[in-house]
Amino acid sequence: MQALGEYVVDRGVVPIENSLAGSLHAVYDLMLRYRVHIVGEVSLQVRHSLAVKPGTKKSDIKNVVSHPQALMQCDNYL
């Protein structure tokens, strides 16, 4: 956002909304702070994977560490 606000780059791609977790308010705050505007839209399908050691059962998993947004998207599965 800072690079956009300082005209170092012409365009950037940032997440604005997530169909499962809702709006990303921190991104909107940064857009206001750096006075950048939305000029287009791209929709992406996201597929998450849970990486474990071979032979691990789902019932064996006690803790998952990831980005907060990814954890919200996978909340029903986990």
pLDDT, one tens digit per residue, over 20-43 is 667 778 888 999 999 999 999 998
Task: Report angle CA 22, 27, 30 to the nearest 5 degrees.
Answer: 155
pTM of the predicted structure, to 2 decimals: 0.60
Distance between CA atoms of residues 61 and 56, nearest Å: 8
Average pLDDT, the chain: 88
Q: Which two tokens stand for residue 64?
A: 């998952």
pLDDT at 76 over 90: no
Rounded to an integer, the average pLDDT of 51-62 is 93
Q: CB–CB of 74/20 below 8 Å?
A: no
Rounded to an integer, the average pLDDT of 44-69 is 91
- Bin 19: left if φ > 0, else alpha if -120 < ψ < 50, else beta: alpha
Share of the chain above pLDDT 70, in %: 96
pLDDT at 17 over 70: yes
pLDDT at 58 over 70: yes
